[in-house]
Chains A and B, each alone.
Chain A
Amino acid sequence: AQSVTQLGSHVSVSEGALVLLRCNYSSSVPPYLFWYVQYPNQGLQLLLKYTTGATLVKGINGFEAEFKKSETSFHLTKPSAHMSDAAEYFCAVSDNTGFQKLVFGTGTRLLVSP
């Protein structure tokens, strides 16, 4: 069964600082990996996804993530944080058995201070 671990329920950064949100996955088959963002009182918005191919994936709003099979990791980064990045971020994994089911991590709340 697939699972996702997100280290740190809260991450605080200053505006302009590097953002690093950690995600480790467990999967018995090659995984498909996703990062979603959730703003207050809203649903989930896809930031980026990894299915196959290039291991460095670029997403929206300047975010990117690197798939590292040897470390079973898919950490999310952004070189320079903006106030508007404050939100909750979820890493998710799905297997390639044909079903849509996403297994989510517990989420990391990103706080950005001026």
Chain B
Amino acid sequence: KAGVTQTPRYLIKTRGQQVTLSCSPISGHRSVSWYQQTPGQGLQFLFEYFSETQRNKGNFPGRFSGRQFSNSRSEMNVSTLELGDSALYLCASSLEVGAKNIQYFGAGTRLSVL
């Protein structure tokens, strides 16, 4: 069974642009979560989606948004990029919702903002 697939793996953007990252969960998984990883702030939760609905959101500005499609694939969008948005963005999927469910992570998309 294929793992969590994130595309693209690497992105370079300039300040002010917007970017869309994609995540395909493990087949059959219906929950998708997104995390941002930076050297300064570590791993921080962005949002969680289940059945096309955002169930939970972290403490990030409104420039960060996401959505989930009927096939459970998810996208996240960052508008008006800032230098501080440079990070590794990780997507994780799980079979069901619930805190004790294992989250399986993709390899991430590394975003560099110049």
By a beta-carbon cutoff of 8 Å, the part of chain A in contact with chain B is: 32, 34, 36, 41-46, 49, 51, 90, 92, 94-107
CB neighbors of A among B55-111 (8 A)? 55-56, 58, 90, 92, 94, 97-108
Closest to B94 in A: A100
Is there an interface contact between A46 and B98, defined as CB atoms closer than 8 Å?
no
- Pull 7 A–B residue pairs with CB atoms less than 8 Å apart, ordered by A: A43-B4, A51-B100, A99-B97, A100-B98, A100-B99, A101-B48, A102-B33
Distance, CA A92 to CA B33, complexed state (A): 15
Q: Please tell me which one of the listed residues B55, B90, B97, B104 contacts residue A46 in the complex, with CB atoms under 8 A apart.
A: B104
Is there an interface contact between B106 and A43, defined as CB atoms closer than 8 Å?
yes
Chain B residues near A103: list those with CB within 8 A.
45
Chain A residues near B45: list those with CB within 8 A.
101-103
Closest to A107 in B: B42
Interface residues on B, range: 20 to 34
Distance, CA A60 to CA B35, complexed state (A): 24
Q: Please tell me which one of the listed residues B6, B58, B105, B106 contacts residue A101 in the complex, with CB atoms under 8 A apart.
A: B58
B11 at the interface (CB under 8 A from A): no
Closest to B45 in A: A101
CB neighbors of A among B23-74 (8 A)? 31, 33, 35, 42-45, 48, 55-56, 58
Closest to A2 in B: B99
Known: A43-B90, A101-B48. A32 touches B100 (CB 8 A): yes
